[in-house]
Structure formats: structure tokens, C-alpha cells
Structure 1
């Protein structure tokens, strides 16, 4: 669906967007209206306020809802199925024990973060987080305290890799649009992402966990351990190698698609070749997780419990996540309305020539677009397109082009809030209400993005 022609100027559109966000927060926090109902209601009100044709409003609502739901529903469903099997069979405990034995009890958050950085290289943020949920909850239950001490380093690690490092779609798209070298973006992006994660996520999360207590709750995975069959399964846990192989399987499969897409964009392989198409299909995130769930049934579930019991376990896992899926989809609906309203385009037009350093300009534009419409991908691609002409005129070197990609990604990371579907995903997974999610995840995404930008800016100044 194409954006509408704005009926108002940039200032009015931004005021409408701000008022919509404020109304949403009031409905959820003050009125205590269910988040799903509030998001749909505010999306309709916003669509009317910005001047959508009433006949087009249903399609506009479905634009963001269907797009987000299509990408999230399958990932969450397959992820919690895998998590349930890992939990019941003792696989999550096996992995947690190995991590703790290597890093020590006091470094458990560091261990989870490092593991998430490694797994986050090819796997997308939401898929990686869902797969790691049982491990996070297992470690949190073992040591107690706020679940944020263990959840934020892991979630932040996936976010850092997803934002900055190819072959994730954001940095790849930005690199293509401004002519940056994808290989150099990868080589430089990894150390920047790791350093920014340590400063902007791990250190910050320690402070947050000390100040904000969120009880350890893993109801999202349907943890009901009353059946004797479950207890027997837990007494015969799988080996560490089996668990590691299962977690690596989606990582390897997804890398088929992401790496091949990167190679195709660089004209190294022919994207229309049959073998490329076949491997790309296996690497689609939903297909990769489906295959992983089937593998988990064979190597984890079936040797320990009956197929009938496995089906019951899956039912237990899927029930609690329905609300999460719907709320996340509604968050995408709200962001979609803001995108189609022309707010992003109006803002982009007024910011295209800010009169200061190109790298600062890239960061500011990406940040404002991220805040205005919520989608990091839209913010990255729009910003890259806006500054492409200026980049061509500046005749920059490969390193500077790469730093621009990193700066754009940094701006598109900060200030995740109620118009971002990821905000709802993280908040609901870890049992946080909206105010707590704003105080924790929004702040953490901001410190992560600022850390990434500070590193890129420092290198820019030196070179």
C-alpha cells in the first residue's frame, strides 16, 4: 500500500504523531485498557486524524498488522515449541550449566550475552530471542534476582548484531544504497557491535537490574511441570552436544539465506540458480525454525515422551503467546499507520539538508525517522536514500562509507517505543508492563545506539 499525500504540513503531522503516542500511553497506563485494544483504537483515530479516506482505513490498518504478524507469528510459535521441549527435557538446564561452568556464577549475564552475540551473527533479533528464552529463564531461576539481569544482556546482544552487522537486512540495504563495501561493513561492524554491546548494554543492564526488579516468570513457555512423564524426561537430559547442535541448526540454515543474499547482491552468485533458490528456501527463518522443531521432536522429545504428550506440551506453549502475537501485530499496525500517513516523508524532506557533518546528519535523520514511525528498517532505508546524493558528491573513501552505514544503523536503533513491534515483543516476553519497558528496553536501545554512533563518530574524526 502506498503512503497517502499528506493533508497537513510536517509540524502538524508530527503533532498528530506525538498526540497519538500520548493517547496510547494514557489508555494503557492510566485507563488500564488492554494493549491490543488500545493499539487498534489509537491506530484508527490516527488514521482519521491524518486524513485517510475512510474507505482506505481498513486496508491501512491491515498493512502494518499483517506485515508484522506474518513475520512474528511463525517465529514465536516455533520458538516457544522448541523452548518448551528444551525446558521439559532438561536441555536448557544442560546449556545453562555449561555456560556457568565456563564463565562462573557471577558472570552469568556475560555468558548469556556472549552466547547471544555468537548466535546473533546470522539469526534475526526476534528469532534469536525466542530460541534463547528457555536458557535465559533457566539461568534466572537458578540464581534469582531480577530477570532483567539475564534477559537484557542477551536481548541487547541480538539487537546489536541485528542492527549493525551484515548479513542482516538493515546494514546490507544501507550499504547497497550508498555504495559501501559489504565486506568492510562486516569486518568493521562486528567489533563495533561487540564494544557497543559491552558499554551500552551489559554495563547499563547491571544498573537497571539493581534498580528495577522484574520477577522471573516463564509462563510464556507454558511451564507446567506436573506430569510424571515430564519429570521423567527431565531426569534423562540430552547431552550438551545435542543441545548445542539444535541451537546451531537454525543459525546454520538461516545463514544459507542471509549469506547467499549478500553474495548475490555483490554478484558473486546467481540468485536465480536452482541450488541458490533451494538453500535460500531452507534459510527462510520460518522454514529453518520449523525444521529445527521437527529435529527437536526426534532427538529431544520422542526418546523421552510420547507424541501425544509432545502435542500437549506444544498446546501449553502456544496458548500464552497468543496475546503476545496479537499485541505485537497491533504495534506493527500503529507503526504502519504512521508510515503511510506521510509523516516519515514529510520529516525526511525537511531534514535532507541540515548543514552539518554528513555522519551526524545521517544519525539524526535515522533517529527522527525511527521515533516518528517505529520501524528500524524503514528508518535505515529511507535515510540511506536521502543522503545517497550527498554521499556521491562528497567522494568518500570505503571506510567513511562504512562508518555512514554504522551511523544510520545507530540512529535507527535508539528510542524503541510503543510504535515499534519489538518493544511489545520484549516487554511481553519478560513480563514487563509499559512503564517498565520504557524505563528499561527503550533506555537500553538508546544507550546501545548512542554507543554505536559514538564509536563510529570517533573513527570518522580520526580518519
Structure 2
């Protein structure tokens, strides 16, 4: 390794990432295998010993999942229980009462903002879009405005706030304290959400009821929908039971973060640290979901639902481990240290690198989760030696992956189809533009915050 030049290191990275993108886009190779192959090729070109490459890949895969694998598993199981129990609908109704009449779009946006922390945004929109439609019929508000506000709330926290698997994986790859990741992600998700809600209000004038197919926004149906909504509300869990599985682990993790930062004395510190460990905290949240939302549900159903949830996390776990393997190779080869020195010598904000990489990967292959994990895998080893705020860089990787949701993104189809929008131009206006607006607002906020953080 002593005789490896900077040019050879850069060449290894460029060819490795180029092959990674090509494998994902143009072949039948799964993204997990593509990450492993890219890691091996990068290491070979960068001058690592072949035996060392294999060991580095295995160690990188294992160490990455060792810290967050269980948290991802608990998180997706909890999300499934919140989905099937009606907790998501109860949260929506709670926000509607909190904001009051005339602020339904803010209520739907806030609902999505909270619900998508443990629930995938696609599932959250499927669950809550009927409520947005019924609300539009009863209030006369545009179903498109309410739907886009809901979709935006779901996507901003889905992209930035653990224990959603994507940002959770990114936090692990960057080595960021989970409490800090939650705090940064939650706060920095607010400005893009606000921007999209205001856009949604203007969009209501551009996408009219005539543009919708089977959107169900006729006055004749409103009476029966109100009765159905009332009947369903009586069957929903209480607001306390609905919010508790999310609020409890967040409080415990934050307490652990504060104790770690302030270093107080006392025997109680050990208990706070234990309870605030992400595995313990999210596991307790799952227990609260099981016994707070599923008391009268047969054991077989509850276990079956949790197993459905964990099955959806399998691919994410593999991709996260593959990203960890690539990152380990970048560190072991010296590519990360070399690029860190080059970047540190420039005046460019460090957050631009993960944000840009995530944006490019998202545009070419569509998956936000894959984009943010790939960006974190490539840039975390690079930024580790620059003195950059790693929590801010991690959020940059997640938010860069929001750019221009289009045909290759499943959420694009979920939002447009459930709102009844079929014209391509209107589909772009309804979700591609808002997702890009959220991306642009995130970039501005990240650059401003990076001046002080």
C-alpha cells in the first residue's frame, strides 16, 4: 500500500462506483451483490491484498449490522403493528383536532411526519389517503392539496428520522449517535415540509377535480363517509396507546444522548444508558405496541403481523451490510483518508458531498433507501477525517435522496394512483415537483446550518 498513488486510489473509487451503478441499472444483479462486487473491485484497483479484501468485506458487513440490525428488526415490527391496529388513523384524527378547521393540510402533514417514523411511507399513504379523501369531501378542501401534504409529511421523516430503516442505516454507517440523528433529522425535516405544504395549496388550483379519476370527491358520498368514519373511530385505539410506542423510545434515546454528553455522576446513570440504548429503547417501544394495541388480538395474528414486518426488512439489512462492506474497503484501502485530505483543503461545505452522491444515485435508480445507503457507504469514510459534523453529513445523505421522484420510484405511483391522477404532466406536478422542492429546501437549510454546526 505504501507505493499506491493518489491517482490509483481515485481510479479505484471511480471504477468501483461506476460498476456499482451499471450493475444496478443495466443488469439482473441485485443491489446487495452489486455492493459486494463493487467493494471487491475497488479494493483490488486500490492495491489491497485479495485476502485482505475478503476479510475487510466480511468485517465491514458484520460490524455494520451488529449495531443496527436488531433496531431495524424491532422498528419494522412496531411499524406493522401500528399499521394494522389503527394507531396511524388515531394519530391523524388527533392532529385534526389539534389544528382545527381550516388547517386540515397542516394536520395531514403533521400526521405523515409522525406516522412515517416507524412506518414505511408507501404503507402510510395507503393507510391514510382514504382519511384525506373523506376529509376533503366533508370540508370542501382539495383532495390533491391534502394528499400532497400527507405525502410530504410521510416522505420527509421517512428520509431522515430513525428508526425508519434508511436513516437508521445511514446513522450506523456514519457512526452517529442515534439520539443526535433523530434530533437533526426531525428538526431539518420541518423546513422542506413547510415548503411543500405551501406548494400544495397552490397546486390545488392547477390540479382540479376534472383531472382526477376515482378520487371520490363528490358531495353525494359525504354523508355515508361521515358515518363510516365515525364507526371506524370508535374501533380505533386511544391517542395515548397510538403515540406511546413512538414517543417512549425517542425519550429514552434522547435521555441516553444527554447523559452521554453531560456525564453526570450517580448510580442512576447506568440505568439511563441501558434503557436508552437503541436496541433496548426500540425493543421496549415494540413491547408497548404489542400490549397496548394488541391486548385482545390472538397471539397467532400478532406474531404473524410482526413476521410480515420483519420480512420487509430483509433486503434493507442486506443492503445496509453491503454498504458497510464497501465503506470498510474504502477505509482500509486509504481512499477515504486521501479524499478527506483533498476535501479538507477546499472551502466547500462537507455536507455537499453526501447530498450530491445521494441525489445522483436516486436519479439513476429510483430507490431513496438505496441512494442514501450508497451515499453513506461512499462518503462516510471520506468525511471521517475532515472534522465535519457527521450528524449533519448523515442527514445530508438522507435528504439528498429525495430529489425528483419519478417513474422509477414506487412512491411516485402510490401517491398519484391513490389520488386518482393519470395524466403524466399532472403526475409530475403532483409529486415530482414537490419532492424536488423538498430536496432544494433541504439543501438550503443544510448549507445554512453547516455554517454554524
Cα shift readout 1:107-149 (whole Å, capped 9, x = no counterpart): 3553146648xxxxxxxxxxx8335756555324544867853
- Whether contact under 8 Å (1:112, 1:150) holds in the other structure is yes
Q: Distance in 1 between matches of 2:51 and 2:95?
A: 55
Q: Distance in 2 between matches of 1:449 and 1:114?
A: 19
> How many residues are aligned here?
366
Q: Which residue is 1:278 aligned to?
A: 271
Q: Distance in 1 between matches of 2:257 and 2:442?
A: 24
Alignment of 1:193-272 (within 5 A): 193=188, 196-198=191-193, 236-264=235-263, 269-270=264-265
Within the alignment, does 1:316 sit opposite 2:308 as a pair?
A: yes
Within the alignment, does 1:45 sit opposite 2:33 as a pair?
A: no
Q: Distance in 2 between matches of 1:6 and 1:365?
A: 27
Within the alignment, does 1:307 sit opposite 2:307 as a pair?
A: no
- Whether contact under 8 Å (1:201, 1:444) holds in the other structure is yes
Return 53-62 or 137-146, whichever deviates more.
137-146
Q: Distance in 2 between matches of 1:41 and 1:207?
A: 46
Gaps of 5+ in 1: 117-127, 174-181, 212-231, 386-404, 421-426
Return 150-159 or 310-319, whichever deviates more.
150-159
Name the SS of the counterpart of 2:312 in structure 1. Answer: helix
- What TM-score, normalized to structure 2? 0.64
Counterpart of 1:20 (choices 16, 20, 28) is 16
Cα shift readout 1:402-450 (whole Å, capped 9, x = no counterpart): xxx5xx75555445699x9xxxxxx999699xxx9x9998996675244
Counterpart of 1:130 (choices 113, 118, 123) is 118
Q: Distance in 2 between matches of 1:169 and 1:373?
A: 6
What root-mean-square deviation, in Å, do the aligned CA atoms of Structure 1 and Structure 2 show? Answer: 4.9
Return 444-453 or 80-89, whichever deviates more.
444-453
Q: Which residue is 1:158 aligned to?
A: 161
CA deviation after TM superposition for structure 1 residue 92, in Å: 1.6
CA deviation after TM superposition for structure 1 residue 321, in Å: 2.0
- Whether contact under 8 Å (1:156, 1:445) holds in the other structure is no
Change in 2 beyond 3 A, CA 1:431/1:24: farther
Within the alignment, does 1:82 sit opposite 2:78 as a pair?
A: yes
CA deviation after TM superposition for structure 1 residue 84, in Å: 2.0
- Whether contact under 8 Å (2:77, 2:309) holds in the other structure is yes
Counterpart of 1:452 (choices 429, 446, 449) is 446
Q: Which residue is 1:292 aligned to?
A: 285
- Whether contact under 8 Å (1:197, 1:448) holds in the other structure is yes
CA deviation after TM superposition for structure 1 residue 258, in Å: 1.0
